[in-house]
Amino acid sequence: EDLIFYPPAVTGQRQYYRFLTCGFIHANIPHLIFNMYSFWIFGEYVEIQFASIYGNTGRWFYLLMYLTALAACLLPTYFKNKDNHYYRSLGASGAVSAVIFAFIFLNPLQKIGIIFLPPQLMIPGFIFGFLFLAISSYLDKRGGGNVNHSAHIWGALYGILFLIVTARIFSGVNVLDYFLQSVKSYLGSF
């Protein structure tokens, strides 16, 4: 209970640590397994790409993106629920979304699917990302359930923004241009 993201505790008792600690607890074993499986599948590739972009500091940038995404993805949730004594959130889904969308941005044409669905249903990452954001946005607006769809959306957007800004500033790499050229080339092939 002391680790969960509880906005009134952040507001009233200044327990800012909850922005991070909630990412290290999960509702149940399937929740933990799904997040860690997604993190493992995409994270290894992103870590390698970060080493390519940032050199020897790539792992530190990867860790920085992940940890700051834990907090950044919850900011909209915090402002929406800062006085809501019934609201709680937990899990690493927002930070994992940051990792997945960094992967998509670095390799937009790589086909991505959903676990347990046949490989024939895999689609290019940039299309998967668009659909993921559209569905998450719809589910967030609809409300209900026990999933913080807002954290998924803002984590994904944060992962992209972190990558664009830090790659440009610290390495002079324009990942946005690479992403746009890849998508343009793909769309031009039809």
Domains held by the chain: number: 1
Mean pLDDT of all residues in 11-31:
95
pLDDT, position 83: 95
pLDDT score at 1: 82
Residue 96: what residue type? V
Tell me, what's the pLDDT at 144? 78
**Residue 84 within a domain:** no
pLDDT band at 29 (very low <50, low <70, confident <90, very high): very high
Tell me, rounded to whole angstroms, the distance of Cα 20 from its chain centroid.
14
Q: Is residue 14 part of a domain?
A: no
In a domain, 32, yes or no: yes
Whether 78 is in a domain gets the answer no
| 182 backbone φψ class: left, alpha, beta (φ>0; ψ -120 to 50) | alpha
Three-state DSSP state, 5:
strand
* Mean pLDDT (the chain, rounded): 96
CA dihedral 51, 54, 58, 61 (to 10 degrees): -150
Do the domain assignments include residue 3?
A: no
The set of residues, in sequence order, having a beta carbon less than 8 Å from that of 184 and lying 6+ positions away, is none
Q: What is the DSSP letter of 28?
A: S
Whether the per-residue pLDDT at 16 is higher than 90: the answer is: yes
Phi-psi region of 55 (alpha: psi -120 to 50; beta: other; left: phi over 0): left
Distance between the two ends of the chain, CA-based, in angstroms? 53
Global model pTM greater than 0.85: yes
Interval 52-62 mean pLDDT: 98
pLDDT digits (tens, 9 = 90+) for 154-179: 999 999 999 999 999 999 999 999 99
| Residue 33 within a domain | yes
The parent domain of residue 131 ranges over 28-71+92-188
Q: Cα angle at 38 between 34 and 17, to 5 degrees?
A: 80
19 assigned to some structural domain: no
d(CA 58, CA 189): 34
pLDDT score at 128: 98
**CA dist., res. 159 & res. 126, Å (int):** 14
Question: Is 63's pLDDT higher than 90?
Answer: yes
Q: Indicate whether 137 belongs to any domain.
A: yes
Helices 93-106 and 149-171, axial angle in degrees (round to 10): 50
Is a pLDDT exceeding 90 seen at residue 115? no
Q: What is the tens place of the pLDDT at every residue in 125-152? A: 999 999 999 999 999 999 878 899 999 9
